[in-house]
Amino acid sequence: MRIEDGPGGAELVVRVIPRAGRDAVAGVRDGALLLRLAAAPVDGAANQALVRVLAETLGVPRRAVALVSGERSRRKRVRIAGLTAADAGHRLSAILTR
């Protein structure tokens, strides 16, 4: 998984699977963090769920998570304000190794 330091925080690519049974971090696929979201991709519900799940997973407030690109795509680029790429990588690797 590739995490970069960008303007304003760490940036990573996320692949979303909407309409999953429950919200969960499901691993890494094609260099992107794989997230399963129970929300449907209607009226931005899946994007809101993505922000909530990433904020909870990384231990940051929801306002720190911003969608940079891919609003209507399964593959999205997300910025995490207040975290460096190294910090985000450590937090995610701890989650992925459970």
Q: What CATH number corresponds to the domain at position 24?
A: 3.30.1200.10
Two tokens, residue 67: 């969608």
C-alpha angle with apex 61: 58 to 66, nearest 5 degrees? 85
Q: Which domain holds residue 78?
A: 3-96
| 37-80 pLDDT per residue, tens | 999 999 999 999 999 999 999 999 999 999 999 999 999 999 99
**The predicted structure's pLDDT at residue 30:** 93
On whether the pTM is more than 0.85, the answer is yes
CA distance 12 to 10: 7
pLDDT of 97 over the 90 cut: no
Q: What are phi and psi of 21, to 5 degrees?
A: -65, -35
How many CB atoms are closer than 10 A to CB 88?
25
| Domain count of the fold of the chain | 1
